[in-house]
Amino acid sequence: MLLLGAKWYDSLSRFYFLKRVDRNDPDAACIDVIEEEREPAPTERERTWVSVAWPSIGGGMVVAEWNIVMWGYGKDDDRFLPYEELGRLNLCKDMDEKAVILKEWFEGKEFQNVGEYIGNGWIRSWDSKESGEHGDMQNTWRTKNRNR
């Protein structure tokens, strides 16, 4: 999933918290929690939309990254995601079409391989991610019980 642009959250609770912050009219309680520094503000990675295509023609990958509406960041910020264009991605029939749409409508960049990519996506995180952005990552039930 990371190779398609999925995010890697530190914990399930962080995921739910960010979903409450990730909108035009965020939950007021979330804003209080951030402003009172009881919860860290969204990081650059957490507030970046990433989409990846793996075209069959020419190989490599195409990656597009944009800022999303989230607490403290909005339409006035630089490189705000054009939400009205997202429907174009849903109409793609394959990765080749998705690569074209990402390049033409979302300023996607081409890379010959995963190793060339440096950005806000979690695309290469399995190489180095040992802790979360806000401390230790939460162990899930599956991780804790893997050896049982």
Q: What is the pLDDT of residues 77-105, one digit of tens each?
A: 566 788 788 899 999 999 999 999 999 99
Contacts of the segment 76-81: beta carbons below 8 A, 24+ positions apart: 81/49
Tokens of 92: 């793609």
Mean pLDDT of the chain: 79
Tokens of 4: 């398609």
At residue 146, the pLDDT reads 45
Tokens of 17: 């918290």
At residue 134, the pLDDT reads 62
Domain boundaries, the chain: 2-144
Residue with tokens 């979690």: 122
Q: What is the pLDDT of residues 40-55, one digit of tens each?
A: 888 888 888 899 999 9
Name residue 122's amino acid. W
pTM score = 0.76
**Is residue 21 classed as helix, strand or coil in its secondary structure?**
helix
Of residues 40 and 22, more confidently modeled: 40
Distance CA 37, CA 39 (A): 5
Contact by Cβ (8 Å): 64, 19:
no
Q: Which of 14, 24, 51, 26 is nearest to 131 (CA)?
A: 14
At residue 147, the pLDDT reads 44
CA distances from 115 to 22, 31, 112 (A): 30, 37, 8
Mean pLDDT to the nearest integer, 25-35: 72
